[in-house]
Amino acid sequence: MILIRTKEAMRRWSLAQKGAGKSIGFVPTMGALHEGHASLMRASAAENDVSVVSIFVNPAQFAPHEDFDAYPRTFEDDAVLSEACGMTVIYAPEMASMYPAGYATYVTVEGLSEGLCSRTRPHFFRGVATVVAKLFNTVLPDRAYFGQKDAQQCAIITRMAADLDMGVSIVEMPIVREADGLAMSSRNKYLSAEERGPALSLSRALREAEALLLSGERRVEAIDACIRGHMAPVKIDYVEIVHAETMKPLQVIDGPVLIAVAANMGRARLIDNLKFDTARHPQAAVARP
């Protein structure tokens, strides 16, 4: 596995791979890699000739009061996991080369970047779209892999890649969970032993919501009440029931639906979600009276 630190060297390497007719898979990360990232890296290694994982804690997606300084940095362990998952390159650019003095260009994906996580983190998706666009321009991937846990991020990156003709396919991979159901996240490291129990209320609430949907429930307010009831142990940021592609709130559950939740537990901000398509469950498509 090769470590690349500059955007010039990264681009040179990628152009050489393309010249040799090789497909490039890409997994953008902020490090502190866990099994969720591993699933993306394994898929990339399996589906492409060569694969790049980037590790860059992106300041543009943190507000001044957020955890940029405290964000876990575990480069040695990340390198071991990346190699074990079949990565060809770790790309870890320096801060000054990503955002040099005078940096002034940002990418905003309209519509999809409103609502859900944007309500309490209005800076967030502009920072994500910008850094991912910069990384795509340097790594030149054929396929890029993202986790469904960040469902709004996936929708935004997919839109951006299509709108800006980036020539990269975005692959969304399923949520990977701990044995107790908690969706894997680098920020789970912030949870104390006492906070772990309440944190599980997010995945439990989504499982209960899914059971209701499978039983035929299609009323948004019933699903919302079920989730909020189960999430009582945590400080809810949002419970949103939206169209899975447009992220627009739904009046009735019909078609591809994203049920997304966010909460704060101690220092950790937790997010989780469930995707449900009523077209795949037609036997349950009749609303209860």
- Choose among 156, 199, 203, 137: nearest CA to 146: 156
Of residues 17 and 153, the one with the C-beta less far from ligand PAF: 153
Q: Which tokens is 197 given?
A: 């129990």
Using the contact rule CB under 6 A, the part of the chain among 27-35, 94-102, 266-274, 279-287 near ligand PAF is 27-35
Choices 3-11, 124-132, 203-211, 250-258; region in contact with ligand PAF by CB under 6 A: 124-132
d(CA 6, CA 261): 37
CB of 28 to ligand PAF, least distance (A): 4
Binding mask 47-86 for ligand PAF (x = CB under 6 A): -----------x--x-------------------------
Which strands form 235-243's sheet, in the order they lie side by side? 235-243, 256-265, 268-277
Instruction: Indicate whether 28 belongs to the interface with ligand PAF (CB under 6 A).
Output: yes
Contact call for residues 253 and 219 (beta carbons, < 8 A): yes
Q: Nearest-CA neighbor of 178 among 34, 11, 12, 14?
A: 34
Q: Is 34 a catalytic residue?
A: no
Q: What is the size of the binding site for ligand PAF (CB under 6 A)?
A: 10
CB nearer to ligand PAF: give 212 or 260.
Answer: 260
* Distance of closest approach, residue 56 Cβ to ligand PAF, in angstroms: 7
Which residue of 117, 131, 161, 263 would you call a contact of ligand PAF, by CB under 6 A?
131
Measured from the CB of residue 123, what is the shortest distance to ligand PAF in angstroms?
A: 12
The residue ranges that bind ligand PAF (CB under 6 A) are: 28-30, 58, 61, 128, 131-132, 150, 153
- Catalytic machinery residues: 37
